[in-house]
Chain A
Amino acid sequence: GAVVSQHPSWVICKSGTSVKIECRSLDFQATTMFWYRQFPKQSLMLMATSNEGSKATYEQGVEKDKFLINHASLTLSTLTVTSAHPEDSSFYICSARPEARGPANYGYTFGSGTRLTVV
Chain B
Amino acid sequence: GENVEQHPSTLSVQEGDSAVIKCTYSDSASNYFPWYKQELGKRPQLIIDIRSNVGEKKDQRIAVTLNKTAKHFSLHITETQPEDSAVYFCAASKNYGNKLVFGAGTILRVKS
Interface, chain B (partner A; CB < 8 A): 34, 41-46, 49, 89, 96-97, 99-105
Contacts and interface: CB of A to CB of B under 8 A. Distances in A.
Contacts of A97: 96-97
Interface of A: 32, 34, 42-46, 49, 91, 93, 95, 97, 100, 105-113, 115
B89 A43 contact: yes
Main secondary structure of the interface of B (DSSP, over half): loop
A43 B100 contact: no
Would you list the 9 A-B pairs with minimal beta carbon distance, nearest first?
A107-B46, A110-B43, A44-B102, A43-B102, A43-B104, A112-B43, A43-B105, A110-B44, A107-B49
Contacts of A34: 99-100
A105 B43 contact: no
B27 to A, nearest CB: 14
